[in-house]
Amino acid sequence: MSVKFKPNIICFACNWCSYTGADMAGTSRMKYPATIKIIRVPCSGRVNPTFIMKAYQKGADGVLIAGCHPGDCHYNSGNYFAKRRFLLATRFMNYIGIDAKRLRMEWISAAEGVKFARVMAEFSETISELGPNWRAREEV
Amino acid sequence: MKKIGVFVCWCGLNISSTVDVGKASEELKNYPGVFYADDYKYLCSDPGQELIKKTIIDNKLEGIVVAACSPNMHESTFRAAAEAAGLNPYRVEITNIREQTSWVHSNKEDATIKAIQLIKATVEKVKKSEDLFPQQIPLTKKVLVIGGGISGMTVALEVAEAGYPVILVEKEPQIGGNMAKLSETFPTLDCASCILTPKTAEVGRHSNITLMTNSEVVESSGYFGNFTVKIKRKPTFVDWEKCIGCMLCQEKCPKKTNSDFEHGMGKRKAISVAFPQAIPYRPIINEKECIYFKTGKCKMCVKVCPVDCIEFEQLENIVEENIGAIVVASGYELLPKEKLSEYGQGKYADVIDGMQFERIASASGPTEGVIRRPSDGKIPQSIVFIQCAGSRDNQKDRPYCSKICCMYTAKHAMLYKHQVHDGTATVFYMDIRAGGKGYEEFVQRAIEDDHVLYLRGRVARVYEEDGKLVVLGVDTLSSEQVRIEADLVVLATAVIPSEKAKVLGQTLKVGTDAYGFFNEAHPKLRPVESMTKGVFLAGCAQAPRDIPETVSQATGAAAKVITMFSKNHLVSDPQVAKVNEKICVGCLQCEPICPYKAIEPETIEVRIGHTVEKRQVATINKGLCQGCGACSVACRSGAMNLSGFSNEQILEELKALCL
Amino acid sequence: MMTMTEKMREQVKELFVNNEIKLFIGFEKGFTKFSRIPAFAENYDEAKKMIIDEFETPFLAKYLIRELEEVAAGIVEKSERVAILTRGCDYLGIRRLIVDNIILRENIVIVGIPCDGLIDVKKANKLLGEEAREITIDEENVIAKGKTENKIISKAEVVLDRCRQCIMCEPKESDIMLAEKTANVKKNKDYSKIEEIEKMSAKERYEFWSRQFERCIRCFACRDACTACNCRKCIFDITEPEMLEKTVATSEQFMFHFIRAFHVAGRCSACGECERVCPVDIPLGLLNGKLRKDIEFLFNVEEAGIPSEIEPLGEFKLDDPDEW
């Protein structure tokens, strides 16, 4: 293949920490690949594991969930529930054959623009190496 | 299909240098559902906003997407503009093509493709958006303050001064709390009663404050702005309305008993007032000790009372109050020394805790301020102070620092040295934590001017030998074992929440931590609010703290209440959870997930044909819900949804982004 | 000694005579020799046909929704009660319904049956080498009679697979118990099949599950049979939002099985009914079991199959693991 594979990555970012952290990366003019598209959610606890499956089905190659650090959740406990759900969901998706490396969860605070850019670059790299995801993907 | 307008902002060169805004708006024109699309240099400028308003009106748009900077910057600006043009503000969504696109990518082609895709996804989200309306919640402008210590009184006085009625509930017969028991205060060594008494007196006479002492909150229902509480008023057996406070009854009562107020250091009568400056200055009969209650005879108090106000048959009664806000200031207690086996488990009379020392050092205390040891009343020649007794100790399940002990121990040692110049005062400490204005200087004064001996190390054991207390410890700085014979040992026992805090927490539906301290809504940004809207926290109920900090927090809590009361009604954000009652099965698995206790069961009646079916469903208290959406994920059938970030909206956005 | 069937009849009679119940749910003989089907009796006469033996039976707990929904909804008298034959697995299902506020405990008379595991006729046939004409079961053995030959097989050999995974041999609490406790053999948790799949490569796992899921005919029997699936309206039946599209494609099958399994995560009581009713033998137990195994491992839950007031996904601990 001559054309370099450009992955399609969906990032769910919590409004209070990670989304603001992403803004921070922007204000600081940090660079990361354009492969990542952010969906703003009020809290990482709002992200339904079904959304992840749906993303794979509809053509995402990787999914990232970014929330507040433990103890920093704007709603106090949302990220802890999210953590439980995604601990279980990641292992389960892996079990049915969807590589666990395609799903990542990160705690990124509003001040961590650097971390946001770094995580995005890293994750984009990981997914580029894994190649496109065809598993559980809709045939068009 | 909705008529949607798309506005792409150049933000000068900020966006347009990396994103081909012209191409973006052109491409969006052909996107299904988009009726209008254009780009503009500065949408947030006045002409930009005017353009948006005019376009909405001219084209009768039913939703708009503004592709510009972060929604954290201008979402409210554009929503206000849309509202001015008659469009519901929640039909406006922002695509972030500056902070999260143009500024972070350098390849114009890639950035343009991404921007277009993001805008399309937002268009899909707007297609699924609904009109949302903020709800007005009525408000009762009356506050309930629980706890009549220094924090509760501060809150009560601040709010009362602002002109709002206050109900101050205190479980003891008098207000003043722990501070009323203190001798002197650090770092100024001014007498606690001297600064407290004016406050208690003011609380007692303030026309906006209803004082309910000897009372406890037993039930609470309702929510933010509209609570109904039930307050149990325990019997005092004295008609306080009639009583003139002559205290003849106390003088003549034949029964002496241990005084709780004196922490076992002094006695009181079976009918008495705790201390001479008590507010309200009214006596109460101790039912368990009174001879009449035990034997049916005596009635000495009845005989001497000039106004005939003794009422042995008094019963407790429950009063119900409607209030708008609650401030929890339930204070602290000290870890019982019975729990500390290494220090004699409370079996030695001369091993006392900090509060007991306060009483014997207090001018109004049982020894009239002369520091005498409890066993034989002798003036101790050697006192050992042990800090962190129970605090910072995982084995006692109190890993936290009690914060005030370093300072009060220095104060205790100083007070002692000021009285007994040739006595020795030794302090065993783990670290000296003297952060605070004038605090470090105060400790230094104790060490340098008053020659208090500070030994860094822990005490392994305290035991009695030949009438002396032997303290075995280690000085970790010299690595030597230390053995000190002492006349009196003072334990700086851990600060623990009031015994009833956990129950109170359950009553008010406010969470407590593992130790029973009330949880704040946010450790940094919302330290005086609890997770339950409309319930605020002050003082040691939340965590151990000293008087100035308590007063600051109490003032903060009062400010929160006053801000709330400054409006005529409360307005709730409409971007909160909602229940589809047709689908909800009422399993309530969402309930434990809600951090705000906004989900409750409700029985609804549904007409099906000829029958009326009653069914339990979950219901959202829109006043309490803050819109995190965690419940919507717990709901398997999707009956629980979040307005503004609904399942439909997120799914559509997701599908558009995945393409 | 009275058999359980006799004892049941005696108890049912008493319940109806004393007007304590409006319905009794049990089992009766089915259309083939060894099949057992649910039976509903509104009076003692109707209950006479009911039997209790050790052949595979359907799960009864879910019928309680149908029978008691109206009571819970307050349409009919609160005092109406339904008696139900309850093995340990049924009991867990009933608990699930009670915890989920679908039915009320006070409306149920739990008639408990201790159980060592039920007999898989297919296994017996296989060992006999032909279709058994008669099967008798005693304490330890199963005697299968064929055309010419008889075969004595040890019970352990022919017990149902799902019964090997049993986590509760008899109901934890009951109103009436039909027999003394059984030996209550503690069965070791057996996640070996799941571990085998875990050991495969991601590609192999995907291929394995694709093969399984592609057989799915989307009959929703697994959902309909499950007591943890007790929603008024299932997410799969809702078109807005359309979580599951109606196309029968591999990706949709993955979607369906992911959602179904995740919706019973922390709620599945390992009864195995979903597998029993699956017409195309999809090993659903391996999906539910994986989630139970992980819940036990990750969140330090001793037995994920026993319904707790708060589900594992409805709570958290500060020291939950961080590994993704």
Q: Which residues of C touch A87 (CB under 8 A)?
A: 294, 298, 320-321, 323-324
Task: Please give the residue range of the domain that contains residue C131.
Answer: 121-157
What CATH code is carried by the domain that includes residue B433? 3.50.50.60
> Is residue C8 included in any domain, yes or no?
yes
Query: Is any Cβ of chain A less than 8 angstroms from the Cβ of B50?
Result: no
Structural domain span for residue B43: 4-127
pLDDT greater than 90 at residue B396: no
User: Does some domain include residue B402?
Assistant: yes
DSSP string, B329-372: ---EEE--GGG-GGGGGG--TTEEEHHHHHHHHSTTSTTTT---
Q: What is the pTM of this model?
A: 0.78
The values of phi and psi at residue C303, to 5°, are -140, 100
B497-520 tens-digit pLDDT: 998 898 998 888 888 888 889 988
At residue B44, what are phi and psi to the nearest 5 degrees?
A: -80, -15
Count of structural domains within chain B: 3
ipTM over 0.85: yes
Is residue B217 assigned to a domain?
Answer: no
User: Is A46 in contact with B633 (Cβ distance < 8 A)?
Assistant: yes
Same domain membership, residue C52 and residue C153: no
Tokens 């509480």, residue located: B229
Mean pLDDT within B348-376: 93
pLDDT tens sequence across B216-256: 999 998 888 999 999 999 999 999 999 999 999 999 999 99
Same domain (yes/no): B492, B577? no
The count of domains in chain C is 3
Rg (CA), chain A: 15
Q: Is the pLDDT of residue B134 over 80?
A: yes
**Range B384-412 average pLDDT:** 93
pLDDT of the residue at C316:
93
Taking the C-alpha atoms of residue C269 and residue C91, their distance in angstroms, rounded to an integer, is: 10
Q: Is the peptide bond before B165 cis (omega within 30 degrees of 0)?
A: no
Give the per-residue pLDDT at C233.
92
Give the CA dihedral B355, B360, B361, B365, nearest 10 degrees: 100
Residue B609: which CATH number?
Answer: 3.30.70.20
Q: Identify all chain A residues contacting C255, using CB atoms and an 8 Å cutoff.
A: 53-54, 57, 136
Give the start-to-end residue ranges of the domains of chain A: 19-130
pLDDT at A1: 46
User: Would the CB atoms of B100 and A26 count as touching at under 8 Å?
Assistant: yes
The 8-class DSSP code of residue B518 comes to B
Mean pLDDT for all residues in chain B = 94
pLDDT band for position B596 (cuts 50, 70, 90)? confident
- The domain that contains B18 carries what CATH number? 3.40.50
Q: Are residues C43 and C108 in the same domain?
A: yes
Distance (Å) from the alpha carbon of B358 to chain C's nearest alpha carbon: 39
Q: Do B654 and A10 touch (CB under 8 A)?
A: yes
Is the per-residue pLDDT at B576 higher than 90? yes
Q: What confidence score (pLDDT) does residue B116 get?
A: 97
Identify whether C321 is part of a domain.
Answer: no
Q: Largest Cα–Cα distance of chain C, in whole Å? A: 65
Contact between B587 and C102 using a beta-carbon 8 Å cutoff: yes
Residues C263 and C277 in one domain: yes
Co-location of B482 and B578 in the same domain: no
pLDDT per position in chain C (324 positions), as tens?
678 899 999 999 999 999 999 999 999 999 988 999 999 999 999 999 999 999 999 999 999 998 887 766 665 666 689 999 999 999 999 999 999 988 889 999 999 999 888 999 999 999 888 888 889 888 788 899 988 888 899 888 898 988 888 888 889 899 999 988 765 555 667 899 999 999 999 999 999 999 999 999 999 999 999 999 999 999 999 988 888 988 889 999 999 999 999 999 999 999 999 999 999 999 999 999 999 999 999 999 989 999 998 999 999 998 899 875
Residues 210-269 of C with CB under 8 A from A: 210, 243, 249-252, 254-255, 257-259, 261-262, 265
Alpha-carbon gap, residue C121 to C135, rounded angstroms:
9
In this prediction, residues B414-433 reach a mean pLDDT of 96
**Same structural domain for residues C169 and C44?**
yes
Q: Is residue C48 domain-shared with residue C169, that is, in the same domain?
A: yes
In terms of Cα–Cα distance, which of B285, B349, B370, B588 is closest to B490?
Answer: B349
